[in-house]
Amino acid sequence: MTKLADASINSFGPSPKATDVPPAEGSIFVLTAGQLQEIISRAIQPLKDEVSELKSTIASQNEKIAFLEATQDTQSDNQLIQLRLINQLREATAKEPDNDSPLIDELYKEMIAIGRKQTDFATAARMVKRSKRRMLQLKAAIALDQRFILVPSERHSQKVLIRLRES
């Protein structure tokens, strides 16, 4: 029993070095803190460079986006102005002078009644019992009226004829 007690007491003390420990698989390196820090900073430096390059690219892209948005805003404003102008022109051309319309209506009815497909301004003036000068004042209104077409005369280069539009 004393042998058993001696064996258990001796197990608490410093144990002799075991010789049966297998050798480590890889080599063990001992590095100082400075050496480890240098290795890490060398490994991180390319990543820092890449991050700073990406940041500059992002900043450049943000500038381009801001410029394109400003250009788009300008183009939108210009398009709105164009649409307003187009609508104003449509309204201006759609309006027919109230006092001229009866003369144009009378001319249309007279041409239909006598079967004329086209006429010059002098003949048109005689049809509606007005002066040629008055009919020439109505030239723009006649041109806007969808029932008529103004065409140059084939026989006389300075004459313009009033032609009925084909229905």
pLDDT in tens, 65-103: 999 999 999 999 999 999 999 999 888 877 654 556 889
pLDDT in tens, 104-123: 999 999 999 999 999 999 99
Strand ranges in the chain using DSSP code E only, listed in sequence order: 118-120, 148-152, 160-164
Are the CB atoms for 159 and 145 separated by under 8 Å?
no
* Residue-level pLDDT at 118: 92
Sign of CA dihedral 34, 36, 41, 42: positive
* Residue-level pLDDT at 119: 93
- What whole-number percentage of the chain has pLDDT above 90? 52
- For residue 3, count other CB atoms closer than 10 A to its CB: 7
Tell me the pTM. Answer: 0.41
> 164 pairs with which residues across the strands?
148
Q: How far apart are CA 35 and CA 43, in angstroms?
A: 13
